[in-house]
Structure 1
């Protein structure tokens, strides 16, 4: 039995293309370091989505009361197909990331957040606590947070 995922890349027109993390910060309600604890993919109006439970490890901007929040991303794994948006897959269990967030308002899930600029406001963290930047180069998390004036 072959359980290999088939990669499916969907093209998505972005409402806004961000040129810097300062722009992302200005459009975000919350900036946080998170870790995905679980996730579930679903299809809504023929579009794949993933709803993840994430643990908030650090808040850098904004304030939330809960230490666990829901995160809604476009894409996910449906029927052995991994749907990614413009080459950017959704976060998986145990992934850590620095995310720029906005409150989600819509029919898919209650009490959730979305990433500002879809994947543009999502920066994976590697095991050395480095942020993988837009251009793929690693940057120290502390340096990036300091550069945002947080």
Structure 2
């Protein structure tokens, strides 16, 4: 979790604000979703709680789409590329995509997907952040990690 937090200039809890729009760029389908920021845990841009941001995803196994009616915890970075202006990407793709469940714990999206699809032995194949948080991490503990870990921007080579 420390590495994910250090790699993320922007960490929020949020919810899907609008339907996802799909666009095709160079034969790749991208999904654009508006996310309302419910809580800003770390922010490097001029955004605030209550603002809506644009999330860019590709809907591959490593980048499952955000779902409506879920409280999301997202570790984000500014998207830089030709597909869309002023958007964000999830750091580490599914590694930086979590849901806050009603038990007050934060779970990796892959665990929630496994539960909903009844996938066998899914939790035993998790690695990294997903394995660390598969049984849920209390939100307060996650906030402590974010607060105690400074953003460490990548070095230009």
- TM-score, scaled to structure 1: 0.71
> In the aligned structure 2, how far is the partner of 1:109 from the partner of 1:94?
25
Match of 1:68 among 46, 52, 74: 52
Decide whether the 8 Å contact of 1:55 with 1:69 is kept in 2. Answer: yes
Structure 2 unpaired stretches of 5+: 109-129, 149-157
More strand as a share of residues: 1
RMSD across aligned positions (CA): 1.8
Q: Secondary structure at the match of 1:65?
A: coil
Segments ≥4 residues shifted beyond 6 Å: none
Matches within 5 A, 1:66-145: 66=48, 67-75=51-59, 84-86=60-62, 88-133=63-108, 134-135=130-131, 136-145=134-143
- Structure 1 alignment gaps of length 5 or more: 1-20, 76-83
The number of equivalent residue pairs is 121
Deviations 1:38-80 (A, max 9, x none): 22123222222211100001111124325110011121xxxxx
Q: Relative to total residues, which structure has the larger helix share, 1 or 2?
A: 2
The alignment's TM-score, normalised by the length of structure 2, stands at: 0.69
